[in-house]
Structure 1
Amino acid sequence: MTVDTALRSRAADVFGWHLRPAQETVIDAVLAGRDALALMPTGSGKSAIHQVAALALDGPVVVVSPLVALQEDQVVGIEVHPDAPRAVTINATRSHRELDDAWGAVAGGEVGYVFLAPEQLAKDGIVERLRDAGVALVTVDEAHCVSSWGHDFRPDYLVLGEVVERLGRPPVLAMTATGSTPVRTEIVERLGMRDPLVLATGFDRPELRLEVRRHEDEEGKREALVAQVTELSGSGIVYVATRAETLVYADELVEAGRRAKPYHAGLRVRDREAVHHAFLGGDVDVVVATSAFGMGIDKPDVRFVVHADVPESIDAYYQEVGRAGRDRDVALATMHYRAEDLGLRRFFASGSPRPASLRAVFDAVPATGTLPRSELAAASGLAARTAGRAANALVDAGVLADDASGLHRVPGGPASADAAADRSRAHATEREQIEESRITMMRRFAETGGCRRQFLLGYFGDELPEPCGNCDTCTAGTATAADAHPADGSHDVEWPPDATVEHAEWGRGTVMSTEDDCITVFFESAGYRTLSLADVEERDLLERV
C-alpha cells in the first residue's frame, strides 16, 4: 500500500512537499490505524509524517514535544502554509485568553494539530478535553525520552501510555533520530504500542566528518579546543559537561574573536531564549552549552559540533553531533578526549534516590487502592521532584505500578517499605552496571584505531561493510590496518544484528554487531558486552533463541 494519489497531491499543494518512500510507508501505517515507530536521521522530514497524515484524518493530531521552543517552531512552520490545518500549542507560556481561544477551536473541530508537553497530559482536565475532541493520532516526538536506557530520559513521558488509552486508543506514532535496540524496545513497551511498524532508515550521516583528538591534561585540551573553534568557519556548538565550563569556554572564545554565548539549564528562561534566537538568527556564531541545548535547534547550517568532554553515551554523542550539517552540506564533529574525563561521566551515572525517599513514597501508597500522582508529594512529605524521582525508581523496579488512576502496589511485590527500597536499590545497581557499559562503549569509540563511522553505526546495529573515508582514523590509515577489527558484519550470517541470544550468566541479549574476531551484545541485566568469537564458539557462551 502507498499513499494514494489524492493525498500525495494534497501534500504537494498544501506544504510543497514530495514525499519520500519511507515517509509514505509510515503515513500508510498510521492511516490504517497501526502504531508506528520511525527512526530517521535529523533533517529527514519526520515531522512531515504527522503533518501530512492530518490532512486525511478526521480529528486532531496530538503532538507531544518536550520543549516549548520546539512546539513553537513547528507551529510557525505549519502557519507559513495558509492552506494547512490550524495548529495550536497548550503550555504554561500561553495567556488565559490564548488558551481559551485554542480550546474553543479544538472543541469546534477547527484544529488539525495540538502541540503540548508531556507534563500537560498529567492533568485530567486536558486529557478529558482532548478525548472529547476525538483525537485521531498521538505523535510522540523525541520518543527516546520515554526510555530510561536513552540519554535524555524524561519521567513525564512515562504517563503517555495510559494517556493514549484514556484518549480512546488512537494510533501512536513515535519518532526519534536515534535509538539503539534497547531504546527501541523500551519505547514500544512504555508507550503500549501494539504490533507497531518499526522503520529505521539508517543512521549514517556521511556528510559529517568524525574526529577525536586526545589530550594528556585539561589545560592543553582547553587551549586546543579554543584554538580549533577560533579557526573554524560558520556557526557551531561546543558541548561541555558542566555549567561552569559553559562560562569558561564562552569567555575564552569571545577573547579569541568569536561571537560566543554560554547556555545551560540554570539560566533564566528569557536568557536561554535570547541565546537560542540569536544563534538561529546568526547574531551568535558559537553556543557553548551543556546537553540542555539541543532539541528544538532547527538550524540547518550548523557547520561544526565540538565536544570538550566525553558524552555520557554513544546515543547522546550521535544525537548531539547530528545537529551539524542538517542541510546535508559538509560538517565537522570533533571530540576532545582525556581518559580521565570518563570519571565525571561515571559520577553522573551513579545517582539514585535515597532509601529514605523510597520508603516514604512506598508507605504513602496504600496497601490496597491507588494514590493519584498529584497527591504524592503531600502524602509522602517529600518535595514534588524528590517524590517523583523515588516513585519512578519504584515503578522501574516493578514495586509500584502507574496507571490512569494513579500509583498502586504491584500484587505479589514487597510488603514492607524496607523490602521495597532494597529491591529498588538492587535494580538501580543493575542499571549502574549498564551505564558503566555504555561509558565503556564511549571509551572504545574514542580510543579505536578502526573506522569511527563503522564503530558508531555498529553500535546501532547498522553496520558499514567498508571504512568510510571521512573520519580521522581513515585519514591516518589506521582504519584499514590489519588489526583495525571494524564492526563490518563479518559474522552476520551466524549472528545477525537484532538476533536474540542467551548467556548463562547475563541472560537474554540482543546482538548489536560483529567484527572479524568478536561480537557485541546488549544484555538487559549487564549492558553492552563485547565477546571473543573464539571464546563464544569454544565455550558455547551464547545460544540463539
Structure 2
Amino acid sequence: MQRADDILREIFGFDCFRPGQEEIVHAVAAGENVLAIMPTGGGKSLCFQLPALLRDGVTVVISPLIALMRDQVRALQEAGVAAGALTSGNTGEENDAVFAALNEGRLKLLYMAPERLASGAAAAMLRRAGVSLIAVDEAHCVSQWGHDFRPDYLRIGELRRALRVPLAAFTATADAETRTEIVEKLFDGGTPRVFLRGFDRPNIHLAFAAKDGPRQQILRFADARRGQSGIVYCGTRAKTETLADALEVDGHNACAYHGGMEPADRRAVEDRFAREDGLIVVATVAFGMGVDKPDIRWVAHADLPKSIEAYYQEIGRAGRDGAPAETLTLFGADDIRLRRTQIDESPAAPERRAADHARLNALLGLAEALGCRRRMLLRYFGETAEPCGYCDLCDTPPETFDGTQAVRKALSAILRTGEWFGTGHLTDILTGNATEKVRARGHDALPTFGVGGEFDRRGWQAVFRQMMGHDLVRPDPERHGALRLTDAALPILRDAATIDLRRDTIRAAGRRPDTPRALVSDEDAPLLAALKARRRDLAETARMPAYMVFTDRTLIEMAETRPADLDAMARISGVGAKKLDRYGAEFLAVINGAADIPHPARRKLAGQGAGDLYDRLLAVQTDLARGACGTLKPMSCPAPLLARVAQLRPGDAGTLERLLGDRRAERFGPAFLDVLQGAG
C-alpha cells in the first residue's frame, strides 16, 4: 500500500504537506468522519483527493460549482488520476465515458453537483459503483443561515446513511453557528473529528475606503496593478458591465460576468480567466467560487459585500498561491441602504433577517475599524491575533476623535423618540430641521432638537453608520428598521464609557454632494422594502406582474403617509375600491407592524379565559422589558411560555419560578403573580 507522502510527491508534486493538511489526510484516509475548516488557499481539495487514492473504492465529491468540478477533474486527469464528473454541463459522450469508467472499476473520484441527489436512483447508482467515502466541498452551503445555502445539500446526510460510509466535510468559512448546523445536517448531530485550521491569510493586504468617486477609485487601484489578474465585485449586474467598459477604455484587459449572461458567454469568461494572464473580471458574486486560479493578485469590492462571511470568502480568492495579494473594499451609505433592503425584502423568517442584519453590522464594524483590520476580522471568527502590520490601518493609523458626546446625543434622540425612527428622522432632529414629520410628532420640542450643529446631515449619517458598526444600535425589523439601542450603548448613555470615532470617514461623507437621491427618506426606506416584499408575495401567488397589485408610486405614498386604517388607505393615490377591498387589510398589517397580529400561541387561547390573562401578562412584560428602572438588558418570555403561564395560573412564587426560570422570575415574577392572583 502506498504511503501518503509518496502519493503527495508522485501524484501531486509536493515535497511536504502545508500546515494542517497531514493530520486531516490521515484522519480521512482512516475512515473517520471529519469536519475541516481551512482558509481559502489552504489546500482543502488535497485533503480529500489524496485519501481517495489511499482507500479502496470510489470517493464521491459533492461540490456546488460546475466550473470548480471541471477544473479539479481536469487537473487530476492531467496528474494521471482516474477522475470524472457528472454535471448538467456534460455532453452525452462525456456522461457515457464516466459511467463506463464506473462500471469497469477504473474511477477513483467522482464529482457530482448536489442537485443530482434529488434523483431517487442516485444512491443506488453510487452503491453499485462501490463508493467508500463521501467528500463534501463548500459544506457551509448546508446551513440555512448562510449566504450560500443550497437546499439540495440537505440530502447529503440521507445519502451518507444510505451508503453507510464515512463523510468528510470541508469549508473555508463557518462560524460557530454554521459549524453546529453542518454537524446536525450532515452527521445527524454526531461527533465528527473537527479540524479548525485558522482563518488567517497573512499574505492578503486588507484595505477599506469610504466611497468618494468610486469608479475613479477602482480605476486608480487597478492602474497601480496593471497587468495583474484581478476581480472586481459589484452589487448589480448593470454595474459590472459599465465598470468593465470603463476599465477597457482605460487600457485594461477586462470583461464582465454575471448571472444574467448566457451560459456559453459565462463559460467563455471562466475559460479566459483561467487561461489569460492579467485579465480583470468585473463580476457579481456568481463568479470566483468555481475558478481554481492560484495567481489572482487582487480583489476589489466596488460595493459593500452582504456580510463579513461573504467578504472573507470573496477576498480569499486572491493569493491562493501564498504570494502577496491586495484587496480594497469601498463602502458608503448607499451600500448600507441596499444591503438593508435586500435583507428586509428577503422572504426569510424574521429571526433569519435579524441574524443577517447582525452579520452586516459586523462587516460595518470592520469597515469603520479604528485599529488593525486583520485582528478584528479574526476576532469575529473566534481567533486572537496581534496587530498584523499588513493592512491599511496598520500602514496609516486613522485620525480619530472622542465621539462620546456626539454618540450620546444620537442615543438620546433615539430614546426620546421611543426607538421608533431611522437615521433620517433622527438626523433631522439633531440638526434642527423642522420637517412636517418632525413638527407633527412634536419632536421639534425635544431637548435634543438642534443640538447636533457640529456635523452636517451627511456627517451625522456617518456617525450613525459608525454607531451601527460598533453595534451600539441595530435596526429593528419589526419596526421597519427603526434604530434600537443594544446593551453596548448603555454605558455610554450613562456616562460610564467613552468611544472614539473616525474623523476621516465623516469628512468623506461631508464631501459627497453627488449621493444618489433615494426613493424615500432613510426612515421610510425599510417600510417601503417591506411593502414591496408583500406586493411581491401577492403577485407571485396570483401569477401576475407586481405593478398590477400596486405601483411603486402608490407604495411610496403608503410608506410616507403610513395610513392607520382603511379610510386613510382609501385616500392613497392608486388605491381604488376594488384594490382597497382586496389588498387594503394586507398592506395595513405591514404598515401597522407585526405587533398587531396575534402570535399563534395567543390565537390558540382565543375564546378562553386564559386569552385575556395572556394579554395582561404581555402588557406587564412589556412594561418591565428593561426592568423597573428602564435601563437593564432587554428580556422577554417566549409567547408559548407566556401562554403556558396563563393556562396553568401558578399561585405561588416557587411554581412560577419553575416555569419561568431564575432570571425571568426575578424580572417578572412578582408582577406576574399580582396579575394571576387578581384573576382569581
TM-score, normalised by the number of residues in structure 1: 0.72
- Return the offset for 1:13: 2.4
Extract structure 1 runs of 4+ deviating beyond 3 A: 481-484, 529-535, 537-543
1:16 matches 2:13: yes
Counterpart contact for 1:60–1:112, Cα < 8 Å? yes
Equivalents in 1 of 2:389, 2:401: separation in Å? 16
Is the Cα contact below 8 Å between 1:34 and 1:195 reproduced in 2?
no
Residue of structure 2 equivalent to 1:240: 234
- Give the Cα–Cα distance (whole angstroms) in 1 for the partners of residues 239 and 101 of structure 2: 46
CA distance in 1, matches of 2:390, 2:328: 12
Query: 2:320 aligns to what SS in structure 1?
Result: coil
Please state if 1:107 is matched with 2:103. yes
Q: Does residue 228 in structure 1 map to residue 221 in structure 2? A: yes
Match of 2:124 among 123, 128, 132: 128
Matched residue type, 2:54: A
1:271 aligns with: 265
* Greater displacement, 95-104 / 148-157: 95-104
Task: Measure, in 1, the Cα distance between the counterparts of 2:230 and 2:11.
Answer: 33
Residue matched to 1:160: 156
**Counterpart in 2 of 1:250?**
244
**Amino acid across the alignment from 2:336:** L
What displacement does 1:306 show? 0.6
Deviation at 1:483, TM superposition (A): 8.6
Q: Where do residues 279-294 of structure 1 align in structure 2 (5 Å cutoff)?
A: 279-282=273-276, 285-294=279-288
Whether contact under 8 Å (2:84, 2:110) holds in the other structure is yes
Q: Distance in 1 between matches of 2:281 and 2:8?
A: 36
Deviations 1:252-302 (A, max 9, x none): 111111111000011111111111111222266211000000112222211
Give the AA of the match of 1:337: F
- Determine the C-alpha separation between the residues in 2 that align with 1:280 and 1:55: 26
- Counterpart for residue 383 of structure 1: none
Q: Any residues of structure 2 matched to 1:213-362 within 5 Å, and which?
A: 213-215=209-211, 220-233=213-226, 234-282=228-276, 285-353=279-347
Seen in structure 2, the aligned counterparts of structure 1 residues 519 and 463 have a Cα distance that, compared at 3 Å, is farther
Distance 1:31 1:539, change over 3 A: farther
**Matched pairs, number:** 421
Q: Work out whether residues 487 and 633 of structure 2, in 8 Å CA contact, stay in contact via their aligned partners in 1.
A: no
**1:175 alignment partner, SS class:** strand
What is the match of residue 38 of structure 2?
A: 40
Which of 144, 162, 181 is the matching residue for 1:186? Answer: 181
Question: What letter matches 1:278 in structure 2?
Answer: R
**1:283–1:203 CA distance, 2 compared to 1 (3 A):** closer
The structure with more helix, counted as a fraction of residues? 2
Identity of matched residues, %: 43
2:134 is matched with which residue? 138
Q: Is the 8 A contact 1:146 1:157 kept in 2?
A: yes
Partner of 2:194: 198
Q: Deviations over 1:136-168 (max 9, x none)?
A: 111111111111222211222122111221223
Amino acid at match of 1:7: A
Aligned equivalents of 2:93 and 2:240: distance in 1? 38
Structure 2 length-normalised TM: 0.58
- Equivalent of residue 65 in structure 1, options 63, 66, 83: 63
2:170 aligned with 1:175:
yes
What is the Cα deviation at residue 443 of structure 1?
A: 1.0
Aligned-residue offset at 1:100: 2.7
Q: Per the alignment, do residues 19 and 531 of structure 1 end up closer, same or farther by CA in structure 2, a change over 3 Å counting?
A: farther
Gaps of 5+ in 2: 404-469, 479-484, 497-630, 636-661, 663-680
- Deviation string 1:315-364 (CA, Å, 9 cap, x unpaired) is 000011111111222111101111331111112223444xxxxxxxxxxx
Instruction: Tell me the distance in 2 between the aligned counterparts of 1:116 and 1:205.
Output: 29
Q: In structure 2, what is the Cα distance between the partners aligned to 1:483 and 1:455?
A: 20
Query: How many angstroms apart in 2 are the aligned matches of 1:349 and 1:334?
Result: 24
* CA drift at 1:10: 3.3
User: Cα 1:463–1:143, aligned 2, differ >3 Å: closer, same or farther?
Assistant: same
Q: Tell me if the contact between 2:2 and 2:54 (Cα under 8 Å) persists in the aligned partners.
A: no
Secondary structure class of the residue paired with 2:23: helix
Q: SS at 2:238's partner residue?
A: helix
Q: Is the 8 A contact 1:230 1:253 kept in 2?
A: no
Shift of 1:93: 2.3
Residues 207 and 328 of structure 2 are in contact (CA less than 8 Å); yes or no, is this contact kept in structure 1?
Answer: yes
Q: CA deviation at 1:12?
A: 2.2
Could you tell me which amino acid in structure 2 is paired with residue 52 of structure 1? L
Query: Which residue in 1 is equivalent to 2:393?
Result: 473
Q: Which residue identity is paired with 1:226?
A: L
Give the structure with higher Rg (CA).
Answer: 2
Alignment-mate amino acid for residue 179 of structure 1: A
> Any unmatched runs of 5+ in structure 1?
354-426, 485-517
Give the AA of the match of 1:95. Answer: T
CA deviation profile, 1:209-268 (whole Å, cap 9, x unmatched): 11111125xxx2222222322332311110000101101111111111111100001111
- Corresponding residue for residue 434 of structure 2: none
Structure showing the higher strand proportion among its residues: 1
Higher relative contact order (CA 8 A, sep 6+): 1
User: Contact (CA 8 Å) 2:141, 2:149: kept in 1 or not?
Assistant: yes
Once residues 162 and 118 of structure 2 are traced to their aligned partners in structure 1, the CA distance between those partners, rounded to angstroms, is 11
- 2:90 alignment counterpart: 94
| Residues 1:530 and 1:89: Cα distance change in structure 2 (over 3 Å) | farther
Q: Please tell me the root mean square deviation across aligned C-alpha atoms, in Å.
A: 3.0
